[in-house]
């Protein structure tokens, strides 16, 4: 008689042990990129709206003011990841630096240098908004300086 057991003929009181499933530990890169609240994705809609309002602000100035108010309101929320918080800080910084460029350019517009400052401001604003939107899609942290266009990591 054959001594091998057929799994379908195993008695009811005998249990078959299965080995535990292998567990994987997340890599440091994955752990660093995960947000505090991993159960729901971050809502980037408001940050995108602020960037678009800044771009529209080149034509209709009041939209930039609405954008900075939105950025101030959203920056203080507790349930958002750090990379999204950096976008709201970057947007607030962009507004105030841009306003400084605008005032200096307007004051110096009596001479040619003012028009160059205003041209620089427009290029600077467009590049910062495009880089901000790109970093937002990548869910990357962004930071910038007075003359910088914004660096994301």
Alpha carbon 86 to chain centroid, angstroms: 7
Residue whose C-alpha is closest to residue 117's, from 97, 128, 102: 102
* Residues 63-104: tens digit of each pLDDT: 999 999 999 999 888 888 989 999 999 999 999 999 999 999
Distances, alpha carbon 151 to alpha carbons 5, 53, 112, 129, 138, in Å: 65, 21, 31, 12, 13
Q: What are phi and psi of 151, to 5 degrees?
A: -120, 135
* Residues 32-74: tens digit of each pLDDT: 444 444 445 678 899 999 999 999 999 998 999 999 999 999 9
pTM, full prediction? 0.70
């Amino acid at each position: 008689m054959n001594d091998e057991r057929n799994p379908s003929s195993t008695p009811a009181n005998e249990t078959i042990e299965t080995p535990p499933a292998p567990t994987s530990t997340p890599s440091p890169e994955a752990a660093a990129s995960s947000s505090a609240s991993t159960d729901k994705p971050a809502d980037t809609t408001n940050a995108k709206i602020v960037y678009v309002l800044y771009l529209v602000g080149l034509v209709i100035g009041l939209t930039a003011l609405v954008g900075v108010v939105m950025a101030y309101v959203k920056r203080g929320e507790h349930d958002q990841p750090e990379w999204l918080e950096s976008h709201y800080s970057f947007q607030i910084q962009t507004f105030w630096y841009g306003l400084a460029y605008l005032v200096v350019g307007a004051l110096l517009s009596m001479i040619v240098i003012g028009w160059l400052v205003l041209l620089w401001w427009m290029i600077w604003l467009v590049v910062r908004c495009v880089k901000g939107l790109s970093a937002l899609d990548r869910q990357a942290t962004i930071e910038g300086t007075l003359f910088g266009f914004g660096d994301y990591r």
